[in-house]
Structure 1
Amino acid sequence: MMPEVIVTAVVFFATYHIIRLISNHLLKRKLIKAEQYERVGILEEPKVENDESNRYPSLKWGLVALMTGLGFIIIEVMGLFNREMVRGRDAVLPLGILMVCISLGFLIYFFIMNGKAVKK
């Protein structure tokens, strides 16, 4: 079941980006033919240069990696106590534990950054 879902998602994602690329090209071409050169830049993606939001990228990804590792350790420890709970094809508990730990890593980073912003 899982490979079919992944293949379907990749196909739709690729189709969306191809259609978006072609439509942007056609719109830019129409604007250039209409001599609206200053409006061609409207179709460009705005680059957000927010220094505060991505100030410590290594801290963010370090926390996420740490919490992911902690999630894997928790899954293994739970497997020692009750092997049926975390093993098997239909076990959702390991995925839930991993997602919660990864989310906690992002939340810890968020609170650290908000604490630094308030102190300034």
Structure 2
Amino acid sequence: MNQVLMAAVIFFAIYQIIKNFTDFLLKRKVIKAGHFENAGILEQKVASITTENQEANKYPSLKWGLVAFFAGIGFIIINQMGPSLYNEDNYRNFMENSMLPFGIELVSISLGFIVYFLIVTFMKKK
């Protein structure tokens, strides 16, 4: 598990470094071309994206409440499902070596986000 987490952190860091470097190159290219008035174009793009995200994220406590609720449901399912599938001797092996608990937890958290999305979409239509 630690190896997967470490790999994810490393890939995310590489992505962020490449993204920052390419943004820098793009800004430098715009400035060298003599378009000083357009040098802030990237910041405007980022600002418009953040306003869209703020509009969609009107109910942050609802979102995280639903995600926590569905994460809890996932943990309950994992806890109840383990002993029923395996005998007590293999239960520890199931929890340590199987990817099924992680899959159940990720699916339940995803369901929380989907329910939040459906609620927000329904509220927008009103």
Q: TM-score, normalised by structure 1?
A: 0.76
Matched residue SS, 1:15: helix
Whether 1:93 and 2:92 are equivalent positions in the alignment is no
User: 1:64: Cα distance to partner?
Assistant: 0.4
Q: Does 1:21 align with 2:28?
A: no
Amino acid in the other structure paired with 1:81: S
Q: Among 96, 112, 119, which residue is 2:119 paired with?
A: 112
The amino acid that maps onto 1:74 is I
Q: How far did residue 61 of structure 1 move?
A: 0.8
Structure 2 partner of 1:79? 82
* Structure 1: tracts of 5 or more residues without a match: none
CA RMSD of aligned residues (A): 2.5
1:22-41 maps to which residues of 2 (within 5 A)?
Answer: 22-41=21-40
* 8 A contact 1:63–1:105 mirrored in 2: yes
Q: Take 2:8 and 2:73, find their aligned partners in 1: how far apart are those partners?
A: 29
Q: CA deviation at 1:43?
A: 2.8
Tell me the amino acid that sits aligned with residue 76 of structure 1.
N
Q: Tell me how far apart the structure 2 counterparts of residues 93 and 71 of structure 1 sit (CA, whole Å).
A: 11
**1:5-29 CA distances to partner (integer Å, 9 max, x unpaired)?**
5444433432332233233324323
| Cα deviation digits, residues 83-106 of structure 1 (max 9, x gap) | 447825431221221122111111
Between 60-69 and 36-45, the greater mean CA deviation after superposition: 36-45
Say if 1:62 and 1:25 are closer, same or farther in 2 by CA, change over 3 A.
same
Q: Tell me the alpha carbon deviations over residues 45-70 of structure 1, each in whole angstroms, 9 at most, x when there is no partner.
A: 42231354111011011100010011
Preserved CA contact (<8 Å) 1:71 1:97: yes
Identity rate, percent: 48
Instruction: Give the aligned length.
Output: 118
2 CA distance for matches of 1:81 and 1:8?
33
